[in-house]
Amino acid sequence: MQSGKDKIIRTATVPLSLDLFCRGLFQTLADEYDVVALSSPGKELGEIRKREGIRTIAVQMRRKVAPLSDLKSLLRLIRVFRKENPRMVHSITPKAGLLSMMAAKIAGVPVRIHSFTGLVFPYRKGLMHFILRITDSITAACATYVLPEGEGVMDDLQRYHITKTPMRVLGNGNVRGIDLDYYDHTTDIDRLGEDIRRHFGIGEGEFAFLYVGRFDQDKGFKELTEAFERLAAKYPGVHLLLAGAQESEGDKLDENIASLISSHPAIHISQGWLDDVRPWYAAADAFVHSSYREGFPNVVIEAGAMGLASIVTNINGSREIILDGENGVIIPPHDAEALYLAMRSFIKDRDYVKSLASHARSLVSIRYEMQYVRNCLIDFYREVLQ
């Protein structure tokens, strides 16, 4: 341990989550704290250690419910926390939250923080609903502070009586923030965007909607494909870009929907997950996010940073990022007709789309710029560690 510095351990179930949520943050925190990153083993953990200049610890944790494996992970975490003796443990992602908060409390860690980036149990039924609700309650009960990613997540935690632990939304929500220097138009990015349009036969003046994310049922693909099929039948020259992929653990798309998106001549799909999605934003005329549930969707923030007007559903996160009629349009979830009408309005009124788009980046810069989001977290750390 570095003399005079409080030790903090940041945990996530898999190293990719730490890399995603804390890239660059660890290096900043290391100026003030003795920082350790902990997750299951993986190549990203080694990359974090080298890039951020911090120590890392690997403890195997499974994302799915696995009682015997979870017990082993819990005992390992208790040993690690007792040995490391940190002042704070801060977890993110569900399984790491449950195990880390329990282990930290047993080990006597004084400051225990969990960030809820979204709740899954309200959208599950039966036994799984019960299990997920109980595990979220245990996580919160073992924490000394709970940080919901947005007002919507905090409302859900209160509405379902998950916790009496002190809660606070930092800044305007969002745990990561956005690098506005990275998510911006450049000559090279715009050229690549033009290449994407040319490759898929999207002509000048034709309109391209973009979706970015998992190809899962809960992302509203039923409504999206139904609305787009109607739209394309009536308005030739409209296109739908899909940037993402199906995840093995997700709710797989209905076979009819999967068949439609692979065969429709105006639906264009990326070749799996993309290292750089900016050219796809640059290729699009508007963004659409028809999801049924979210914590705080970063893709909507990214689209705004790239100057795109968005159509989103009235769910947690999305309704906080999008101000209806100012930088996008908000519609009810599970409503193909409302989505169709919103997409049609974008095609028919390009000036309206341009007006919405003109506010998109500025609102993101005010509310979600990365350094602002990080400063909110750093200020909170100073407050609870004083």
Residue-level pLDDT, tens digit, the chain, 386 residues: 445 899 999 999 999 999 989 999 999 999 999 999 999 999 999 999 999 999 999 999 998 888 999 999 999 999 999 999 999 999 999 999 999 999 999 999 999 999 999 888 887 889 988 999 999 999 999 999 999 999 999 999 999 999 988 899 999 999 999 999 999 999 999 999 999 999 999 999 999 999 999 998 899 999 999 999 999 999 999 999 999 988 655 567 889 999 999 999 999 999 888 989 999 999 999 999 999 998 899 999 999 999 999 999 999 999 999 999 999 999 999 999 999 999 999 999 999 999 999 999 999 999 999 999 999 999 999 999 98
Question: Is residue 160 within 8 Å of residue 228, measured between CB atoms?
Answer: no
Asked whether residue 211 is domain-assigned, the answer is yes
Please tell me whether residues 258 and 315 are part of one structural domain.
Answer: yes
Give me the number of domains the chain comprises: 2
Q: Edge-to-edge strand order for the sheet containing 310-313?
A: 267-269, 238-245, 207-214, 286-289, 310-313, 328-331
Enumerate residues 6+ apart whose C-beta is below 8 A from 256.
none
Please tell me whether residues 31 and 85 are part of one structural domain.
Answer: yes
Please tell me whether residues 249 and 294 are part of one structural domain.
Answer: yes
Asked whether residue 342 is domain-assigned, the answer is yes
Please tell me whether residues 168 and 192 are part of one structural domain.
Answer: no
Asked whether residue 374 is domain-assigned, the answer is yes
Which of 128, 122, 152, 156 is CA-nearest to residue 140?
Answer: 156
Specify the CATH number for the domain of residue 58. Answer: 3.40.50.2000
Asked whether residue 182 is domain-assigned, the answer is no
Please tell me whether residues 134 and 210 are part of one structural domain.
Answer: no
Structure tokens at 26: 């660890």
Range of the domain at 149: 7-177+370-385
Please tell me whether residues 129 and 19 are part of one structural domain.
Answer: yes
Asked whether residue 64 is domain-assigned, the answer is yes
d(CA 167, CA 114) in angstroms, rounded, equals: 10
Please tell me whether residues 374 and 323 are part of one structural domain.
Answer: no
Question: Is residue 2 within 8 Å of residue 29, measured between CB atoms?
Answer: no
Asked whether residue 2 is domain-assigned, the answer is no
Question: Is residue 199 within 8 Å of residue 160, measured between CB atoms?
Answer: no
| CB neighbour class for 305 (10 Å; exposed up to 12, middle 13-18, buried from 19) | buried
The pLDDT of residue 251 is 65
Please tell me whether residues 201 and 346 are part of one structural domain.
Answer: yes
- Residue 132: strand pairing partners: none
Structure tokens at 247: 């995840």
Please tell me whether residues 65 and 212 are part of one structural domain.
Answer: no
pTM, 2 dp: 0.90
Neighbours of 71 (CB within 10 A): 11
The pLDDT of residue 249 is 55
Asked whether residue 272 is domain-assigned, the answer is yes
d(CA 16, CA 40) in angstroms, rounded, equals: 10
- Residue 239: strand pairing partners: 208
Please tell me whether residues 107 and 44 are part of one structural domain.
Answer: yes
Please tell me whether residues 232 and 266 are part of one structural domain.
Answer: yes
Q: Report which secondary-structure segment, H or E, holds 99.
A: helix 94-107
Angle, in degrees to the nearest 10, between helices 43-52 and 15-22: 30
